[in-house]
Structure 1
Amino acid sequence: MRLLHIFWLFTQIVLAFSAKKFKNGKKLDVISRFSSCLAKPIITKLGRTVSEVESSSFIKSKIDGSTYKFMKLQNQMSVFLVSNNNFEYSIITLSVGVGSVMDPEDLPGLVSLVQESLCLGTYRFFDHSNFCNFIISINGEIDMEVYERNSVFTIKVGSQYISTVLDRLSDMIRNPSFPEKLFFAKTKEYSGTFESLLNNSEFLFQCVIRDISLDDHIFKRLNVLTDKSIKEAREISEINLLEQVKNFYYQQYSSSIMTLVVASKHTIAKLSNEVVLNFSL
């Protein structure tokens, strides 16, 4: 326990020092994320950890008013549903088993770029706003994060939009069109600064861990999308970069490594029907 206290104190000192360095203009070689951090840690964590669990083995508290269901779709996607009449919003988390450890050595940040490129458009919704703008247009929120072994989409919307959002999310993950103009515009956004993350302790901690890790350690790839990697890719060719994004998606993204978590006030029966309709490919 004493060692834990010492470690906690050490991390606080390091974080404080790192924040001071940032404010003094000493920036680490990491760019800010596209979307804001949302306060949905429980559902997001479920999306990263739920695997092959049967409904019969799930035990809940006697005072828990929620109803739960685990499903395994025909395409091997894992699904966890939560229904509670008291839920004010619906929260959807989609976790894909691809993370920063899968970045190629010559292009760190590719996994993160693939994740954000999926939102740019689909063949079905090519003439509509991209997925992120769509969520915002219905007063929702979306957060996208890349961890060591997972890429996670977390969405918060009004429960009246659950059918539409699941439909759009499914189409985004199955039929991305990777529109060239929007993709090239996206890569140009990665020359920004880090002011929005100066007070984010998790971000600062990961920066410190990355910088003190050995070159061959997986932690060296934390916060992977860097100005340097995008600049190097541009020097090769923007078309080349787009092709690498497409190739990674087609080779690595699969329903068998996806976990979908849906929490809503709708009944388990309705949620089950919506998920099967939209995701059982």
Structure 2
Amino acid sequence: MINDILSIEKSPNDSNIYKYIKLENELELVLISNPNSNQYSALTLSVGVGSFFDPSDVLGLSHLVERSILLSNEKNPDSNDDFSTFIQLNGGFLNSVTYEDRTSFYYKIDSLCLEESIEKFSNYLIAPIFNKDLLEREINIIESEFNSIFDENKKNLVLLKGIFENDHPYGQFNNGNNKTLRLEDIRNRCMEFFEKHYSSNVMKLCVYGKQSIEKLEEMCKKSFGLIKNKKIYSTPLPKFVLKNPIKFEIASNIQDKHILKIIWPINDESLSFKGKVRSNSNSIINHYLGHEAKGSLSAALDNLGYSYRLYSFAQSYAIKDINIMGLEIHLTKCGFDNIDHVMFLVNQTIREFNANQMVKTELRTLDIEWKYLNNDSSIDLTRVVSNNLFYVESHVQVLKYPKYMFEKENPSEINKILSFMVPSNMIVMVSSNEFKGKTNSENDIYKIQYSSQVIEDSLIKKWKFDYQRSVDIVLPKPNPYLPNDIEIKTKTSSKPHEIYNFNGIKIDWGSESSLNSPYLNIIVKFDCPTKGNEQYKN
């Protein structure tokens, strides 16, 4: 067993005690002890397999295994006494989720029952049964989930399967349904999937409790040390490379809603957002594209009457060469009619980004957040730590990752990411009710009506050059309100009392030092004397 030689870095404001251990079966875990906590105990175990690894003839198999594995095992075959029932009877909460690259199981429970829960939980990972009757029940639930998916954004992702080189699984249907899972040999397929992918050397565990670190270690070693190490190592996926830039026009069922979604695949593993980037480059770009202050893309589009909502996103996976930058813009009818101009403004925003100006403000902001970070939510903390263990190069960084690993300024790294955010490496998805009756294809899973076309050079040229540059899009100015000194001057607390009362505006103020954080909580209440008055109804 490997013990924590280097201590996990934590915020000065964090009262938890941490320890990293790697068991003899190569299962990695972080123990968190806080004897003074009023939180429930909590546990998260993540396994390094997800829907990317579904067999092509049983799509959704990883989801079915996730839902079924905790229902029965060789030590406890009684389906009426499953793990979920045990957790609920002891005032807890249990959930699990299948991602593309990993599967997570997490729960909270009364601290007095933590040891028993660990023993019971580990048995399901040692020898699950996958009872066929219970599998049938879970397939019915999955089919119901499938028929209840109304999120068009989620559905539309299946259109992306096949647009990458070498049959990359990105966009693969991952929920499962009767068609893909109701097979005669489904129990055998579940057992095969478990034997192939569920191994201790690809499991990351985090446990939070009031017990001492030594007691938590004893519990985990005794139970999780019995999980078999099958010495599984992930099969590399194909390179994450677009065949061609592509545009989808999707017929939406929602009236008067027009959504533009842009995705840029970043296929350089050296730029992986998970584990290798040390300057938080993707977060800086994400903030620049998504902020809404004066000078932003959002403000410029709003001023033109083109949009009413915009947000940016960065996605990445434990499989380090799959990284994505993206934008989602909710367009007005005017914006939909002028979508080429919108695309021009998006490209202008990216071209004119200046990395040097953004980095220093980001550094200072994150430094303040880290210093006063308080990890006081047990179940959320275990989920974060368990998942982060897949990504960090050293367990020392598991609490800082990814947001607070801002170790150096690296504008060149930002510029390398921006070099992928060009029209020739772009997926454009436009969803609108206006496309009803005008599409030429139908997806066979969700019955999505759509058309798709390779983005030709002439359209790329239009998006880059055919409009006048907007003077409304500029880099955000440095934040003048960032403090130079963030030390708390006084440790006293006072009840709220009136400090201002004039012209209908009343302000009460009180200090609170028990949380040891230099943050301000503002609550604004508007009293409207005309509320409910028929005279002012319109």
Query: Cα deviations across residues 170-229 of structure 1 (Å, max 9, x unaligned)?
Result: 10110112222222222222331569776xxxx76544434445454433136x1232xx
Code of the aligned partner of 2:218: N
Code of the aligned partner of 2:202: I
Preserved contact between residue 50 and residue 100 of structure 2 (Cα < 8 Å): yes
Question: Partner of 1:219: helix, strand, or coil?
Answer: coil
Which of 190, 208, 230 aligns to 1:245? It is: 190
Aligned-pair CA distance for 1:61: 2.4
1:59 matches 2:9:
yes
CA distance in 2, matches of 1:99, 1:193: 18
Aligned equivalent of 1:192: 144
CA distance in 2, matches of 1:75, 1:68: 21
1:209 matches 2:145:
no
Query: Cα deviations across residues 75-105 of structure 1 (Å, max 9, x unaligned)?
Result: 0000111111214111100001111110011
Aligned equivalent of 2:121: 169
Aligned-pair CA distance for 1:245: 0.5
Aligned equivalent of 1:46: none
Aligned-pair CA distance for 1:70: 0.1
1:72 matches 2:22:
yes
Aligned-pair CA distance for 1:266: 1.6
Code of the aligned partner of 1:155: Y
Aligned-pair CA distance for 1:54: 4.3
Aligned equivalent of 2:47: 96
1:126 matches 2:77:
yes
CA distance in 1, matches of 2:181, 2:11: 51
Code of the aligned partner of 2:201: S
Aligned equivalent of 1:266: 211
Preserved contact between residue 55 and residue 69 of structure 1 (Cα < 8 Å): no
TM-score after normalising by structure 2: 0.38
Preserved contact between residue 69 and residue 82 of structure 1 (Cα < 8 Å): yes
CA distance in 2, matches of 1:162, 1:119: 17
CA distance in 2, matches of 1:53, 1:270: 15
Code of the aligned partner of 2:206: V
Moved more, 67-76 or 204-213: 204-213
Code of the aligned partner of 1:209: L
Query: Cα deviations across residues 235-266 of structure 1 (Å, max 9, x unaligned)?
Result: x42xx111101111112211010011011222
Code of the aligned partner of 1:113: L
| Number of corresponding residues | 220
Structure 1: stretches of 5+ with no match in the other structure: 1-51
Distance change in 2, residues 1:264/1:104 (3 Å): same
Quick check: which one's helix share is greater?
1
Code of the aligned partner of 1:137: L
Preserved contact between residue 87 and residue 264 of structure 1 (Cα < 8 Å): no
Aligned equivalent of 1:150: 102
Preserved contact between residue 40 and residue 110 of structure 2 (Cα < 8 Å): yes
Preserved contact between residue 77 and residue 255 of structure 1 (Cα < 8 Å): yes
Question: Partner of 1:80: helix, strand, or coil?
Answer: strand
Aligned equivalent of 1:81: 31
Preserved contact between residue 123 and residue 175 of structure 1 (Cα < 8 Å): yes
CA distance in 1, matches of 2:127, 2:205: 17
RMSD of Structure 2 on Structure 1 (CA): 2.4
CA distance in 2, matches of 1:60, 1:145: 27
Preserved contact between residue 68 and residue 83 of structure 1 (Cα < 8 Å): yes
Distance change in 2, residues 1:197/1:165 (3 Å): farther
Aligned equivalent of 1:111: 62
Preserved contact between residue 60 and residue 181 of structure 2 (Cα < 8 Å): no
Structure 2: stretches of 5+ with no match in the other structure: 227-538
Aligned-pair CA distance for 1:137: 2.1
